[in-house]
Amino acid sequence: MALVIFDYDGVLADTLDDLIRFGQEACNRLGVNHVVTKDDLSNLEVMSFATFGRACEVPEHLIDEFVKISLNLFAEKESPPAIFDGLSEVISHLAARHKIAIVTTNSSQNVHAFLTKHGLANLVHAIYGVDTPGSKAQKIALARERFMEESIFMIGDALSDIRAAKEAGVTSIAVTWGHQRLETLLRGEPDHVAESPQQIIKTVK
């Protein structure tokens, strides 16, 4: 049995359009004159709402407010985001054999609403969101301490996910359908690359 940790935005949830739209709305509310594009996300060394705000030229003293506005916009959305094709089946398959956790810079509340909408809430054993203190590597370590599995995988779509996995000493899987380009992900030297959700099943033994 393994512990399989998923990132949320860009791995499970198709949130790119929402991130761009909500980032733009946050900039507008804060009086920041910036046009938000996908490049603001795809070029980030560290993927978080705070670094997203900095990429959008939000002044440092307004970064916390940018994060708060963005998270609230996700929470207020009428329905949670769509799940990427094939991920429901992958999680169901993995959950029958392994423990599943989510480590994310989004809020646990938003992730739980997403999982409930897509009928996956009972398959995920733990969520470590922005409301859990610590870096992504520290949250991976918390999950490892809780579940005590020998094999641990971190599945992410950002360079910072791969680096967090390495820092925590777990196996990294970079996925290519998320927010960052493959060439960006490869800078982190992931242990595995998945170009489709089904490839995750082949990698996690």
Does residue 42 register a pLDDT over 90?
no
DSSP-derived secondary structure for the chain: -EEEEE-SBTTTB--HHHHHHHHHHHHHHHT------THHHHT-SS-SHHHHHHHTT--GGGHHHHHHHHHHHHHHSSSPPPBPTTHHHHHHHHHTTSEEEEE-SS-HHHHHHHHHHTT-GGG--EEE-TTS-S-HHHHHHHHHHHH--SEEEEEESSHHHHHHHHHHT-EEEEESSSSS-HHHHHTT--SEEESSHHHHHHH--
Does residue 77 register a pLDDT over 90?
no
Q: What is the pLDDT of residue 21?
A: 95
Query: What would the pLDDT profile of 148-187 be if each residue is shown by its tens digit?
Result: 888 999 999 999 999 999 999 999 999 999 989 899 999 9
Does residue 120 register a pLDDT over 80?
yes
**C-alpha–C-alpha distance, residues 96 and 144, integer Å:** 19
**Do residues 147 and 99 make contact, with C-beta atoms less than 8 angstroms apart?**
yes
Global confidence as pTM: 0.88
**For residue 131, which of 3, 8, 1 has the smallest C-alpha distance?**
8
Q: What is the pLDDT of residue 47?
A: 85
**Do residues 104 and 154 make contact, with C-beta atoms less than 8 angstroms apart?**
no
**Do residues 68 and 49 make contact, with C-beta atoms less than 8 angstroms apart?**
no
The domain segmentation of the chain, as residue ranges, is 2-14+81-203, 16-76
**2-14+81-203: CATH architecture:** 3-Layer(aba) Sandwich (3.40)
Q: How confident is residue 59, by pLDDT bands cut at 50, 70 and 90?
A: very high
Q: How confident is residue 23, by pLDDT bands cut at 50, 70 and 90?
A: very high
